[in-house]
Amino acid sequence: MHTCDLNVSINKLSKIEGHADLDVVIKDGKVVDVDLRVMENLRFFEEAVKGQSALAVPTLVSRICGTCSIAHLTACTEAVEKTLGIKITEQTSVLRKLTMHSLMIRDHALHLYFFVAPDLFGVDSALDIPEEHKELIHQALHVKEAGNNLSTLVAGRSVHATYEMVGGFSHVPEKEKIAPTIEELRSIRPMVLDLCEIFYKCDWELKRKTNFVALVTDDFSYLEGKIKSTTGAVIEEKNYWDHLHKVIIPYSQASGFEFEGEEFMVGSLARLNLNKDAMHADTKRDAAKYLAVFPSDNIYHNNLAQAVEILHSIDHSIELLQKYDFKKEEIVKPTVMDGEGVGVIEAPRGTLYYWLGVNGGKVRYANLIIPTAQNLVNMREDVRQAVTNLCALDDDRTVLENKIRKEMEKMIRAYDPCMSCASHFLKINWK
Amino acid sequence: MNQPKKKVGVFSITCDEGCSIYLIEIFNKKLVGWLEKMEIKYFLSMKDKVEIKDFDIVLIEGVISSERDLREVIKIRENTKILIAMGTCAMTAFPSGQRNNFNAEQLERIQPKLKEFSYLPKCLALKDAVTVDDNIPGCPIDEKKFIEVFEKHLNA
Ligand code: SF4
């Protein structure tokens, strides 16, 4: 057990989305302060959306975050549709599911292969992975490319997609491209199963009792359902605001959140803990061993959960592409121009909430809650727990400091945090 | 004769990092070939940071919004042979510099934040602050144009 005083500062955590700093202060062997600060510069979306046409706002907010732009586009589109009385067609709903699956495949693959895998091999970057494991990088490129190609087919592009809009999709997938896409998705399945195996075998562990929250959907499609928590709460999408409370984080450009007064976690681990039975039959068959791990309190199982989700997104996409005969459809028009509406979806990193108020077709206010912001308090408490565990070991001061540096980055990375997103909590304006 | 590998840096200032994410998608097909000619020295999305020093080619995405951004861009310029503006933000200050278009009322509301975090009065495109050698337009970057411009400098 340590009795030392130590300040550890990490400027610009790497291999996460966006910029964040971390300070840990240890006095007398006890963690007295954990400061996790989001250092992204603000881009003032809360102001930029005001007065803009509601139909144009989803494209505007998709620029909040490059990596999960499809999630912002989709959640905001849903909020606009609910506000303006638009009922989307079954085909639009299928295309939207495919769009979300394409996002999950490439975004989770980026995180696991490029951000996390280097830690598995004790190297700095995916490019430095030892020769005998280089195959993994080739697999990474294939898996990401398959997700990227699926995005291009259904949504036009993987970053700032162009086909998805309020009321429908401007294009439908070209028939001749469907079979090769299914083929490509099939071809990456074994690679993703290998990836599951890697994270199943990985012995990293940090357990701490916490609450998990997710939008639970019937077909694990990330889009429509009820917000549920491991404490048993079941909430309608539109009532979310009564259960989430903002927590101010000093010196940070983002705020944190509590769910019914307690810290909580959102993201893949939460989804698997709450809803693994809704996964695709093929995934349940081939990933049974991995699914048996959940529910889990080990934060590092978020990595395994992401790998299993890639598999599910592949399997569900194959089924949807096989089943539907896509035809050109009219975009559904608004029936009203005033009101308010809520859009809730599961983004790669967790539940994403949009709440819009619209007057005469123009946005009056927008409030949105980002997954990473919801995770900030839980992340901070995990850092505290992990550093406390390290202090209990009998290392000398320098060893301890180095361990803290390495382990904290690794642990924060397990959350797959997105700081570009987290800095864009939109302030609510009640008038 | 083998040429020494070009030292490449990818930097993000104020933006959504959509261009660098899209660059990682372009890597799906191109990375293996490019790695024969380049070494990625700085790319926070892929590796831990190193000192900003001795680059051959640097790609920067985003707009200059704060004093910190400005200092970083100047330092990068002093330490690279070629500087490429990656994406519409870096080229024109939009969309990430959307506050430049705010009306007086909106500007007043964001004023406290501008002060608190030492933001510049207006967001700048890279060319407003330093010399830029090449541009890759698009939001995110256009794939073909990226490959064309980047390979030109990689093979130079
Ligand atoms: S140009 Fe577009 S994609 Fe690129 S950083 Fe700016 S907002 Fe993001």
Element (H, E) at B115: helix B104-116
Average pLDDT over residues B74-99: 97
- B154 to chain A, closest Cα gap in Å: 18
Of A274, A294, A286, A278, give the one whose Cα is nearest residue A311: A286
For residue A1, what pLDDT is reported?
54
Ligand 1 mutation target, pool B23, B96, B123, most atoms within 8 A of CB: B96
For residue A257, what pLDDT is reported?
78
pTM, two decimal places: 0.93
Interface TM-score (ipTM) > 0.90: yes
The neighbouring-strand residues paired with A219 are none
For residue A93, what pLDDT is reported?
97
Is the CB–ligand 1 distance for residue B139 below 6 Å? Answer: yes
Is the CB–ligand 1 distance for residue B154 below 6 Å? Answer: no
Average pLDDT over residues B1-24: 90
Q: Determine the residue among A103, A105, A108, A159 to mutate to test chain B binding: the one whose Cβ has the most chain B Cβ atoms within 10 Å.
A: A159
**A407 and A204 in contact (C-beta within 8 Å)?**
no
Q: What is the DSSP string of A60-102?
A: HHGGG-STTHHHHHHHHHHHHHHHTT----HHHHHHHHHHHHH
Contacts of A258 (CB under 8 A, 6+ apart): A244, A245, A247, A264, A377
Q: What is the DSSP string of A328-381?
A: --PPPPPS-S-EEEEEEEEETTEEEEEEEEEETTEEEEEEEE-HHHHHHHHHHH
pLDDT tens digit sequence for A335-382: 999 999 999 999 999 999 999 999 999 999 888 888 888 888 888 888
For residue A358, what pLDDT is reported?
97
Number of the ligand 1 atom closest to the C-alpha atom of B88: 1
Pair of tokens at residue B116: 């608190």
Residue B89 has pLDDT above 80, yes or no: yes
Q: Which of A14, A19, A159 sits opposite B48 (nearest CB)?
A: A14
Contacts of A175 (CB under 8 A, 6+ apart): A326
For residue A155, what pLDDT is reported?
97
- Residues of chain A below pLDDT 70: 1-3, 14-15, 18, 248-255, 420-431
Q: What is the Cα–Cα distance from B61 to B65, expressed in whole angstroms?
A: 12
Is the CB–ligand 1 distance for residue B86 below 6 Å? Answer: no
Q: Do A159 and B65 touch (CB under 8 A)?
A: no
Q: Do A66 and B31 touch (CB under 8 A)?
A: no
For residue A251, what pLDDT is reported?
55
Residue B15 has pLDDT above 60, yes or no: yes
Q: Do B18 and A67 touch (CB under 8 A)?
A: yes
For residue A421, what pLDDT is reported?
65
Q: Do A42 and B117 touch (CB under 8 A)?
A: yes
**A68 and A344 in contact (C-beta within 8 Å)?**
no
**A341 and A80 in contact (C-beta within 8 Å)?**
yes
For residue A29, what pLDDT is reported?
78
